[in-house]
Structure 1
Amino acid sequence: MLTDQLKAQIRSVHQRIKTALPNYQSRPGQNHLVAEMAKIVAGTYHRTERIGLIEAGTGTGKSLAYMLAVIPYALAQKKKVVIATATVALQEQLVNKDLPFFQQHSKLLFEFSLVKGRQRYACIERVRQQQKHPELFATAADAAFDWQTLLDSWQQRKWLGDRDTLATPLPETLWQRIVADPLHCGKADRRHMHCPFHLARAEVSSADVLVVNHALLLADLSGGNSILPPPDETLYIIDEAHHLPDSAREFFAAQAQLTHNSIWLEKAAKTIQQLITLLPATVMKELLRFDDSCNELNSLLKPVERCVTEFKPRWFNDKTEFRFADAALPKLLQQQAEQLAQVSQKALSQVEKIQQQLQENITGQQIPLKQSMALLQELSYLRQKIEQQQALWQLYAAEQSKNVYQARWVELQNQSQYVVGHACPLGVAGKLEQLLFNDAFAVILCSATLTALNSFQYIKYDLGLSQFDSVQTLQVVSPFAYAEKGEIVIPKMQSEPTEQAYTDELVSLLPQYLPENQASLVLFASYWQMQQVAEALRKKGFSLLVQGEASRQALLQLHGDNCKHKRTSILFGTQSFSEGLDLPGKLLTNLVITKLPFAVPTSPLEEALAEAITKKGGNAFLQLTIPATSKKLVQACGRLLRQEQDEGRIVILDRRLVTKSYGTAMLNALPPFRRQIEY
């Protein structure tokens, strides 16, 4: 429970923060957030189920609220805090701005650290090897790369040894040569003790607050907490929590080649022969076992390739993807799945042992560097291929006949050369329940858009929280004076957005809603339609900044310059511009949404989700499409007012908000702007 002493501490910290914040205005919503979050994590509502779902509108100050509510309590209980976000932008804001400010003015004694995956760090020893022996690694195209400058930047601390602080981004091929993978960059080797990855991980153990992304959190939970503290010792804050189900689906999905596998497996045989001549006799038995596993894998994959080749014309008649209805694989693939999962698992543990042995021999300088480095790279490539096979066949082996739990499909890749198999879980509720919610000390899940159609039931179901009776839900509305500061206009349209005439009507109607000397953002549901409208309006003399014609950063820079000089500025964008785009003040006063952002269930995963709902007697459009579209519309409308003093209007050119039965519910889920409906 929250002691009086702790309540007093939170109040005094809050007071110090208020005093330090320039132009601070009291926010009742933020006070409510702090009080409720503190009660949830302290077990006021339930002694063991300390879980909160919190929707906090724009401007409520939720980042500061969760720091105030959670950090003092965690320090008092000697627990760790893990803040997980979906975007790099929010991680950077927390680590570079919010947490340093809170640490300085709260007077609380705590350390914080940004935790990134190993693949975001370089191994300095590998950079030195590249610089010393370019002939061992370089192809003619990138032999001229200046590794010495990179080493100098590291020595001078201008570069922190990670991919995100590189002055100039490295191409993927070059980055892979210096990435801190566990084989090349072992802490036991003295040369690697001061590598960026190990220095960063040393910070983790001493930090009280850890900032991670959703993917790293999921990887650590499913890998047995090798980086982050155990769940029962941790208070989790999952920010941007509406992304967590999709992040989890992506994390637990798998893909691997179903054709042309004999190429890399035959190459494996040659690598094994070279290793036999190089490594000591003690490793011989493991090498021969690995050779047997590769042969077995090859013989199991050959009939798979024949089967896939036979089906290829039927699957890919006029498209590059084919989904297996009800996740039912062709008979041969289903029969081979379990054995392939077992053999690839065996091969995986063998290749790991061989990599370890080779690394030890390199460290001990017992074998020539040139040969061993090339072989180590070969083994890394082999391991990656086997890992992919193991993950895919593990999912393909899971029983799906009574209930379908996966989306399964095949795809043509690399100019139709390869056929790649895919599997993705339809739901991740069980995984999240098991890995996170069952064991966590406390979990606060927050976002500006957690509800769909003003209900938490959809996100509860997606996250696996339907089983928990004591989950606290809270909606804190934005402090913005929506009715005073903005309005929603729904002009009368003649055509439905699904009709061909709609694009022409957009072209004729849009000029009325693009005022001069103002900043406009026009959001489109399709890239093709955006280009068609842009081309037509340019012919009418409009100057436009169109997504895809320059980088996002360059477009926003040009937009900012236009606004600064009070020139008309019109940004055209698609779905990615409707979330996470911050255009405060005069940078956006006129938002136009051309049509409701319905996601057409074209991806195999969306099709499979809709199929599973229909099979259970549900209505996929009502249960899946409408809530998802409502949430996206709320996010899109959230672009307009970013600060309390902002004002403007939203124009929605989609008559379905008025003519369809679901329109009223969607409108009522939006912030309470004034409405002007011209029907």
Structure 2
Amino acid sequence: MLGVRMISILEALPGATGPSLAERMHLAFSQDGKLAESPQFEFRPQQQRMAELVGDALEKNRALVVEAATGVGKSLAYLIPAATFALEQKRKAIICTHTINLQEQLIHKDIPIVKKIVGDFHAELLKGRNNYLCPTRLKSAFAQTGDLFSTSEAAELQLLMEWQRENPTGTLSEMDFTPGARLWSMVRSEPHACTPRRCPPGSGCVYQEVRRRMAAADVLVLNHTLFFTLLASSEEVLAEDANFIFPRDFVVLDEAHTIENIAAQAFGIHVTEGNLRFELGRLYNPKTRKGFFQSVGDSDAIREVTQTIGAAEMFFREAESRCKFSGPYGKEFRIREAGLTENSLALPLQRVANFALKAGDAAKSESQKLELLDIAKRLTALRVELGAFLDQTEEGHVYWAERGGGDTHNLSLHSAPIDVSPKLEEIFFSGGKACVFTSATLGVGDDEQLGYFRRRVGAEKARAASIESPFDFRRQMQLYLVKRMPEPKDAAYGDALQEKIEHFLDLSQGRAFVLFTSYSQLTAMADRLEDFCDERGWRLLVQGRGMPRHQMLAEFKKDVHSILFGTDSFWTGVDVPGEALSNVIITRLPFAVPDHPVVASRLEHLEEQGLNSFSEYSVPEAILKLRQGVGRLIRTRKDKGIIAILDPRLLTKPYGRAFMASLPDCPVEILG
């Protein structure tokens, strides 16, 4: 009965002059609409308004930027109009998120609800193809075990064979062990070696099966990075007449506050010493004497690749010596001029690629030929990227080198566009494309038109809306500020910070996130507070001490009085409803470190335009990050708790007013 009645309300026949999609969303989300038939439904005018705005943007092929605060229920507010529109217009909805948690929530929790409302449809979760095991490549690798793999790798390969037999539809993230990087590169899905022709229906190839289902899906869920990869890769794009990836598709980008940085990374150059060493080692590894050149028995090719491995080592050490890293722990060095060092790798890489092509042509098996052609293509791409980096051919890009941690040499060379807004405007906001950008934190201060975010991503032509939270923050949240604290460089700062953290932890009986902007400060405070927590029987979970992030969160939720010390990744995308998280302590305002080359270049770019980079970039970015951190506390109507911000600049600096205007309206207590 539900499905029949819903069709009459949500479905409009093509060409019909019935109610618009926005009007039908208003009705569906009303107090007596279809959603209200669920006992779990809670009428929220904010959610209803967002669904109307999304419906209007999709139906009119327009762009919408909408901030929907925590509690609005934005997932259903975009999924129901998106699924309805996709089914009626036979267009594909692409839903992009930043975090795995949200992707899992959409697929396993929200989309089943949407199907009860709009009727059944085909939804797929798409992971990057590197996550998929290719059985065709696996069998081929197994047949060449003696030539390709060391003894330990051969044992791992046997494990993979057994795992694949028991888990024919599994992916890397579902494995109960982690295969070595070199072995995985030989058996995962790759564009040239895992194709519809080599892996036809019935071959058991999970990626090709997902690809076929993807083409038939009504709704696709994927992450932002994969979306931009598909957008940029001509081999992966499935249709030349696509709006984005598919014909007549449309896009909803959730967690859109991350888009500027993800796009900058996607549109840049990335050449790592480790990756180059890795690709050459697939052809021949001098230590193990294994690889494809060993398999085909080409001694000249083996000699060439061995020499090139040595040349690569010399090239990267020379490049590293020319980078003036700040001390032994400095990670990044900005390269302001072309010609960091001579491109001594161009010819060796070309010669090795030619040997790989020649070996591929002479290969006895189709699988071996495709593997060699794939490596040749990758080496050629690395050679081209390396040349572009050294010559600094891309105008408006920032170039830098990055040094890996640990004892192993691993220099990486990067570039990124300083301003991504022109490129994003071209992709999303020109030519009448339907797209929605949404997040709980897009606005700065009291700017309801979201001007800062729209300028950063080229969305100035898009419609903008800001939808407030339905939560009662005056009842649910208490904010504490401090008027006086020593400067972080002051010797007294550590004692003062420890005293304040202990005070607020006692206030909430643990049950707290303590968020830091500096990892060194985090570890120093963790050492100071170990005894304090032990005395009270509170478990202290410290980021960077061996426990993965997802496990830290699981342990935190399980132990109701535990305390978690976290830095950057815990400020955003973490959801802990209930009493386990009753206190968020923020040690410093989260201003971005201005010495990272990307941040520094953005600041310079604004100054060159005659703008104040601190007020135009540093402050807005810190406000958005602070809003993310504060937003960890209240996740449902039942949550209650405190926020303590231990940075007096909120009260003593003129820009503090902009920070305060961006925080929820709640009681404030100022401590001396």
Using the size of structure 2 for normalisation, the TM-score is 0.82
1:451-480 residue CA offsets vs partner (Å, 9 max, x unmatched):
2334422222221223x3xx1101001110
1:62 aligns with 2:77: no
**Distance in 2, Cα, partners of 1:85 & 1:306:** 39
Q: Displacement, 1:579?
A: 1.0
In structure 2, the partner of 1:368 is none
One-letter amino acid of the structure 1 residue matched with residue 46 of structure 2: G
- Which of the pair has the greater relative contact order for Cα pairs under 8 Å at 6+ separation? 1
Q: Note the 1:65-104 alignment, pairs <5 A.
A: 65-103=77-115
Shift in CA distance, 162/453, structure 1 to aligned 2, threshold 3 Å: same
**Distance in 2, Cα, partners of 1:344 & 1:4:** 67
**Distance in 2, Cα, partners of 1:604 & 1:634:** 25
Match of 1:634 among 627, 648, 651: 627
Unaligned runs of 5+ in 1: 279-286, 364-371
In structure 1, the partner of 2:257 is 242
1:396-423 residue CA offsets vs partner (Å, 9 max, x unmatched):
54557xx743233464788475654322
Name which of structure 1's ranges 529-538 and 472-481 shifts more when overlaid on structure 2.
529-538
1:624 aligns with 2:617: yes
In structure 2, the partner of 1:34 is 51
1:408 aligned counterpart, secondary structure = strand
In structure 2, the partner of 1:255 is 270
In structure 1, the partner of 2:493 is 502
2:156 aligned counterpart, secondary structure = coil
Match of 2:380 among 382, 386, 404: 386
Contact 1:123 1:180 in 2 (8 A): yes
Contact 2:251 2:435 in 1 (8 A): yes
Contact 2:270 2:413 in 1 (8 A): yes
**Distance in 2, Cα, partners of 1:24 & 1:607:** 47
1:644 aligns with 2:654: no
In structure 1, the partner of 2:517 is 525
**Distance in 2, Cα, partners of 1:420 & 1:633:** 31
Q: Note the 1:456-535 alignment, pairs <5 A.
A: 456-466=450-460, 468=461, 471-514=462-505, 515=507, 517=509, 519-535=511-527
Unaligned runs of 5+ in 2: 1-14
1:48-92 residue CA offsets vs partner (Å, 9 max, x unmatched):
6x1111100011011100012222223222221111111111111
1:175 aligns with 2:166: no
Match of 2:227 among 217, 220, 234: 217
**Distance in 1, Cα, partners of 2:326 & 2:275:** 18
Contact 1:352 1:383 in 2 (8 A): no
1:24 aligned counterpart, secondary structure = coil
Name which of structure 1's ranges 29-38 and 534-543 shifts more when overlaid on structure 2.
534-543
**Distance in 2, Cα, partners of 1:475 & 1:382:** 50
Using the size of structure 1 for normalisation, the TM-score is 0.82
In structure 1, the partner of 2:400 is 408
Q: Note the 1:166-205 alignment, pairs <5 A.
A: 166-189=175-198, 193-205=203-215
Q: Displacement, 1:678?
A: 3.2
Name which of structure 1's ranges 264-273 and 208-217 shifts more when overlaid on structure 2.
264-273
Match of 2:153 among 125, 142, 156: 142
Contact 1:2 1:42 in 2 (8 A): no
Shift in CA distance, 356/138, structure 1 to aligned 2, threshold 3 Å: closer
**Distance in 1, Cα, partners of 2:373 & 2:85:** 47
1:548 aligns with 2:544: yes
**Distance in 1, Cα, partners of 2:190 & 2:281:** 25
1:328 aligns with 2:337: yes
**Distance in 1, Cα, partners of 2:641 & 2:281:** 64
1:434-466 residue CA offsets vs partner (Å, 9 max, x unmatched):
333334630100011112334422222221223
Contact 1:40 1:52 in 2 (8 A): yes
In structure 2, the partner of 1:282 is none
Shift in CA distance, 259/670, structure 1 to aligned 2, threshold 3 Å: closer
Shift in CA distance, 611/449, structure 1 to aligned 2, threshold 3 Å: same
Q: Displacement, 1:643?
A: 0.4
In structure 2, the partner of 1:4 is 18
1:586 aligned counterpart, secondary structure = coil
In structure 2, the partner of 1:111 is 122
Shift in CA distance, 657/66, structure 1 to aligned 2, threshold 3 Å: same
Contact 1:260 1:418 in 2 (8 A): no
Q: Displacement, 1:13?
A: 4.9
How many residues were matched structurally? 635
Contact 2:420 2:456 in 1 (8 A): yes
In structure 1, the partner of 2:12 is none
**Distance in 1, Cα, partners of 2:149 & 2:348:** 31
Shift in CA distance, 118/262, structure 1 to aligned 2, threshold 3 Å: closer
Shift in CA distance, 516/67, structure 1 to aligned 2, threshold 3 Å: closer
